[in-house]
A = this chain, B = another copy of it.
Amino acid sequence: MTPRPAPLIRGLWCATLTPVTRDGGIDHARFAAHVHALFADGVDGIAPFGTTGEGQSFAADERRAGLDALLSAGVQGAKIVVGTGCAALPETVALTRHAVAAGCRGCLVLPPFFWKDASDDGLFAWYAGLIERVADPRLRLFLYHLPQVSAVPLSVPLVARLAAAFPGVVAGVKDSEGNWEHTSALLAGAPELTIVIGHEPHLPRLMRAGGAGTICGVANVYPGLVRALLAPSVAPADEARIAQFIHIAFQQPFLAAFKAMVADRRRDPDWRHVRAPLVALDDAQRGTLRAALDRAGFPADMAAAPP
């Protein structure tokens, strides 16, 4: 068995929420403050403008400006994997070029999600077109598998074919399906890639099987819960805790719920804003969520990730 190469990223990366103002613009000051707080919490890196970051709700210009503002605020590019996928290839190329030039560790790219029945040949051509047009050997690409939202799965044969055609450049997969069979098949079928997952409860299994870690949304609010799952030996109580948290959080539209939790944690109601078509939780929803979290022992100000 060939040893697995060192992963491009490892550990606890946060699929960063994007704070917005009341009228929906990116709130750059809150964004930078949140990211600095996440690093103080102990996260290993951040992944802005993924799904949790409402990436597809922002125009290419806004995403560029958002990344630039984080870098200007002192966040290191080496600790950023940024979502640069758009529905259309030219805009994906432009955002990806910008991120590579900015020194980002990697780019996280959805398949072209408007087209639901794209063939593996078509998706291969699309990603190949991206890599060839970006034309920068520094590019490190994470393929983004999230079929329950994108409605466009990335098959293991497609991933393996891209990895073989663009070794080093196709660097990993963020597998957010939450289907362990698919994750396991990826680990076996593309052993040279850095495999990270979004579904936190699978982390102990992933780490035992040679995975690299997570890019996940829970790290915005309770990074310690996730950090515990990355340890060489995970206590059953830690596995039960994450399951319990997810059960509660997903009783509400999860993205608005995460923003409400950050608002509570930071004592900053402006964190509740989302951009349409998402809708912020109403008072009743927030009350229900907060009560359930408190009852289960997830207070608003729960301690950050243990070192």
Mark A residues whose CB is within 8 Å of B. 24, 56-62, 86-91, 94, 111-119, 121-123, 125-126, 129, 148-151, 253, 275-279
Contacts and interface: CB of A to CB of B under 8 A. Distances in A.
A112 B277 contact: yes
Contacts of A122: 276-279
Contacts of A90: 58-59, 61-62
B116 A279 contact: no
- Residue of A94, A116, A117, A275 contacting most chain B CB atoms (<10 Å): A275
A115 B56 CA distance: 8
A58 B88 contact: yes
Nearest to A61: B90
Nearest to A86: B87
A210 to B, nearest CB: 30
Given A86-B87, A117-B253, A151-B116, A111 B277 contact: yes
A113 to B, nearest CB: 6
Contacts of A279: 119, 121-122, 125
Nearest to A117: B253
5 residue pairs, one from A and one from B, having the closest CB atoms: A122-B277, A56-B114, A118-B277, A59-B90, A125-B276
6 contacts: A56-B114, A56-B115, A86-B87, A117-B253, A123-B276, A129-B276
Contacts of A116: 148-149, 151
Contact of A125 (B59, B62, B277): B277
Nearest to A256: B122
A276 B57 contact: no
B89 A57 contact: yes
Nearest to A152: B277
B149 A276 contact: no
A16 B276 CA distance: 30
Greatest chain B CB density within 10 A among A24, A126, A277, A278 is at A277
A273 to B, nearest CB: 12
B115 A278 contact: yes
A239 to B, nearest CB: 28
A161 B91 CA distance: 33
A85 to B, nearest CB: 10
Given A119-B277, A123-B277, 6 more contacts: A56-B88, A123-B276, A125-B276, A125-B277, A126-B277, A129-B276
Contacts of A88: 56-59, 62
Contacts of A112: 56-57, 276-277
A218 to B, nearest CB: 19
A148 B116 CA distance: 9
